[in-house]
Amino acid sequence: MTNLSPLTEVTPEVPRSRNRWRGLLPRWSPRLGAGLGLAGAIVLFGLIGPLLTSDPATIRDIGLTPPSGEHVLGTTVTGQDILAQLALSTRGSLQIGLLVGIMATLLSGVFGIAGAYAGGVVDEVFSLFSNVMLVIPGLPLVIVIAGFVPPDQRGTATISLVLAITGWAAAARVLRAQTLSLRNRDYVAAARVSGEKTWRVICVEILPNLLPILASQFVFAVVLAILSEAGLSFLGLGAANSSTLGTMLYYAQNGFALQREAWWWFVPPGLIIALFGGALALINFSIDEIINPKLRDRARRKRDVVAVLPETAAAEQDAVLTVKNLNVVYQADTPVHAVKDVSLTLRRGEILGLAGESGCGKTTLAYAINRLHRPPAEVTSGSVVFHDRDGEDIDVLALAPEELRAFRWVKLSMVFQGAMNSLNPVTPVRAQLQDVLRTHRSDMSTSDREQQCVEVFRLVGIDPERLGSYPHELSGGMRQRVMIATALLLDPQVMIMDEPTTALDVLVQREILNEIRRLRDELSFAVVFITHDLPLLLELSDRIAVMRDGEVIEYSTAEDLYLRPQHPYTRQLLASFPSLTGERGALIP
């Protein structure tokens, strides 16, 4: 719930669909089409091909003839028709792939899903077993097992079973991780509270949500099985009397097809495997996009088309930031106008509150001010002008990339909501403060940089010893202080704070608010404070802008907004926060 992506603010109109499976189907894309088409063609070839071609075993005295009208793909060293062999072998490989795919998926389901749902000792044992199976290399094990079984007892079933036993572990690990996350979802808890039996919880509540992952793991298992079987057969260890693409390659190798440059013998079988594997991989891309929507194709970024307005009116006295008629649009299939004609002025040293509910465009607006919005969001018109201390006016929307980079954090810094996620988890916080100085104050000496970090830590009331800590070693309030310290590093004139205290407990929130107020008084930077918590803004800010549906519907001093709200929505918002001290009982209907 701390994802700051501006996209989450826009709730698109979802088309009503009564088909519960639709959400699980991959979105159509050329890739998916190509994958399905190719895989379908190969499956058809394996199904129907053997019926249409001549007997693949017929020996003729036309060994190693290149492709011709009669034998489209030429012949083997013993004159057998390669196309006929190819069709039969494709069928054999697909059979094994399917068989192993099903068995391996079942095994991974039992060890991954059931284990993870059961939890406790069962999970520990299953998980240990899967991990051990995972690190023991599969093919050498299969080779050893196949080596011990006498060839006459090496049937397709045996080989499939061995391949399934050595090939399920990776999928089990993926399924376990996903099941662990699903079983802690509240809807699973809710199903248990309503009295559902365990097997029903697994099958009806959890399994449907695992389907995309199961599908992707199944597809993967099929490819792996076909590849492993081909390798095994190529080594002469495949199932006895079977015809697969691997055995074809085995005969081609032993018939010296390579040395005799009979490419028509050894190229097609490998090509079928590669194409089938590639086709399934393409299908898997689309399944991956269901599992992780972030992977979906995105439109390329267009440059913002900004009609730069001539500065008609002089900037307000004492202003540090002027936003004029700013419009931001999400260029989706149906464009969403997230920020509509917003004009705001931030005075030097003032705290400007930006209030609104989720989806009102307040975060999009904040990002657009610093041009942090990402496609498909676009600034379509308006201006953002920063009035520097030395009197220079900076047109932020017109800055070249390098200038923009130099502008950010030096003039205007930001503090985001989820401090846990705003800090890079893999480096100590010192490195993340130093980064700023290294980039913007490259002439600073190492000891000066360290001194500066220590100083801002003292300023926000953290022991400088903590510079060496990793983010996960700090409490939520501490992390937010680190973010504020980082924001102070370059003595900025403006600080944009996006829900900086929302994820914190009230006591910590109170401390952070006091801190912000104290620092603002000492260092006199201006603050844009974004939150849905109107009482908090009323207490903290000098002026407040209330946003709804991308528009600023009321913009006045905190006192006026509290005592004389003009817009009905503002009044509704104010009424949404019952007072701790006021009269009681009025709210109960």
Residue with Cβ nearer another protein (23 or 37): 23
Per CB under 8 A, does 121 bind another protein? no
- Nearest distance in Å: CB 550, another protein: 16
Name which position in 54, 446, 524, 576 contacts another protein (CB under 8 A).
576
Helices (H) and strands (E) in the chain, counts: 22, 10
- In the complex, minimum distance from the CB of residue 252 to another protein, in angstroms, rounded to a whole number: 8
Place of tokens 């005075």: 347
Smallest distance, Å, CB 311 to another protein? 25
The strand pair at 319-330 and 336-347 is best described as antiparallel
Residue 406 amino acid letter: A
CA dist 334 and 525 (Å) reads: 39
d(CA 158, CA 410): 68
Asked if 266 interacts with another protein (CB under 8 A), we say: yes
Apex 579 CA angle, 578 and 582, nearest 5: 120
Binding residues for another protein restricted to 79-118, rule: CB under 8 A: none
Long-range contacts of 178-187 (CB under 8 A, 24+ apart): 178/210, 178/213, 179/112, 179/113, 179/116, 179/117, 179/206, 179/210, 180/116, 182/206, 182/209, 182/210, 183/116, 183/117, 183/119
Shortest Å, Cβ 248 to another protein? 11
The nearer residue to another protein, 65 or 439, going by C-beta atoms, is 439
Token pair for 108: 């991974």
Within 10 angstroms of residue 389's Cβ, the number of other Cβ atoms is 10
User: Which residues, other chains included, contact 583 with Cβ-Cβ below 8 Å and sequence gap of 6+?
Assistant: none
- Answer yes or no whether residue 231 interacts with another protein by CB under 8 A: yes
Residues 138-177 that bind another protein (CB under 8 A): 138-141, 143-150, 153, 170, 173
Our CB check for another protein shows the closer of 381 and 437 to be 437
Q: Find out whether the peptide bond into 137 is cis, omega within 30 degrees of 0.
A: no
Render 13-27 in DSSP notation, one character per residue.
Answer: PPPP---TTGGGSPP
User: In the bound complex, what is the minimum distance in angstroms from residue 347's beta carbon to another protein?
Assistant: 19
Among 61, 69, 121, 135, binds another protein (CB under 8 A): 135
334 part of the interface to another protein, by CB under 8 A:
no
Q: Which of 54, 292, 325, 451 binds another protein (CB under 8 A)?
A: 292
Identity of the residue, 136 or 157, whose beta carbon is nearer to another protein in the bound complex? 136
* Cβ nearer to another protein, comparing 32 with 87: 32
How far apart CA 564 and CA 538 sit, in angstroms, is: 13
If one asks whether residue 445 binds another protein (CB under 8 A), the answer comes out as: no
Question: Site residues for another protein, window 455-484 (CB under 8 A)?
Answer: 470, 472-473, 483
Residue span binding another protein (CB under 8 A) among the ranges 19-27, 43-51, 324-332, 377-385? 19-27
Cβ nearer to another protein, comparing 27 with 405? 405
Size of the residue set binding another protein (CB under 8 A): 159
Q: Which of 25, 47, 190, 332 binds another protein (CB under 8 A)?
A: 190
User: Segment 295-324, which members bind another protein (CB under 8 A)?
Assistant: 295, 297-301
> CB-hemisphere CA count at 13 Å for 176?
25
Closest CA to 303 of 386, 385, 397, 412: 397
- Residues in contact with another protein, shown as a per-residue x/- string from 232 to 251 under the rule CB under 8 A: --xxxx--------x--x--
Choice between 83 and 171, CB closer to another protein: 171
Task: Name the minimum Å distance from CB 327 to another protein.
Answer: 22
Q: What burial class does residue 54 get, using C-beta atoms within 10 Å of its C-beta: 0-12 exposed, 13-18 middle, 19+ buried?
A: exposed
Instruction: Identify residues 489-528 at the interface with another protein (CB under 8 A).
Output: 505-507, 509-510, 513
How are beta strands 543-548 and 377-387 bridged, if at all? unpaired
Residue numbers 42-71 binding another protein by CB under 8 A: none
Q: Which is nearer to another protein, 143 or 398 (CB)?
A: 143
Among positions 276, 330, 386, 525, the unique one binding another protein when judged by CB under 8 A: 276
- Closer Cβ to another protein, 335 or 578, answer by number: 578
Give the full edge-to-edge strand order of the sheet including 319-330.
Answer: 336-347, 319-330, 377-387, 393-395
Position among 186, 333, 392, 521 found at the interface with another protein (CB under 8 A): 186
Binding test (CB under 8 A) with another protein, winner from 72, 285, 341, 444: 285
Residue in 33, 137, 335, 568 binding another protein, rule: CB under 8 A: 137
Q: 498-512 burial, b if ≥16 CB within 10 A, otherwise e?
A: bbbbbbbeeebbebb
Rule CB under 8 A: which of 358-417 touch another protein? 358, 370, 372, 404-410, 413-414, 416-417
**3-state DSSP assignment of residue 297:** coil
For residue 414 the two structure tokens come to: 């930001």
| Least spacing, CB of residue 357 vs another protein, in Å | 4
Q: How far apart are CA 237 and CA 382, in angstroms?
A: 71
Q: Is 553 in the site for another protein (CB under 8 A)?
A: no
Q: What distances in angstroms separate CA 169 from CA 112, 130, 209, 228, one per listed residue?
A: 9, 5, 20, 15
Please state the closest distance from residue 141 (CB atom) to another protein, in A: 7
Sign of CA dihedral 224, 230, 232, 238: positive
Segment near another protein (CB under 8 A), from 51-59, 96-104, 325-333, 434-442?
434-442
Rounded Cα–Cα distance for residues 166 and 160 (Å): 10
Nearer of residues 79 and 535 to another protein, judged by Cβ: 535
Among the residue ranges 73-81, 254-262, 453-461, 517-525, the one whose residues contact another protein (CB under 8 A): 254-262
Residue 459, C-beta contacts closer than 8 angstroms, at least 6 positions apart? 485, 488, 519
- Comparing CB distances to another protein, the nearer of 381 and 422 is 422
Among 73, 78, 102, 263, binds another protein (CB under 8 A): 263
Instruction: Record the tokens describing residue 529, joined without a space.
Output: 């404070």
Nearer residue to another protein within complex by CB, 313 or 588: 588
Choose one: 14-22, 50-58, 101-109, 319-327; the region binding another protein (CB under 8 A).
Answer: 14-22
Q: Of residues 424, 446, 451, 524, which one binds another protein by CB under 8 A?
A: 424
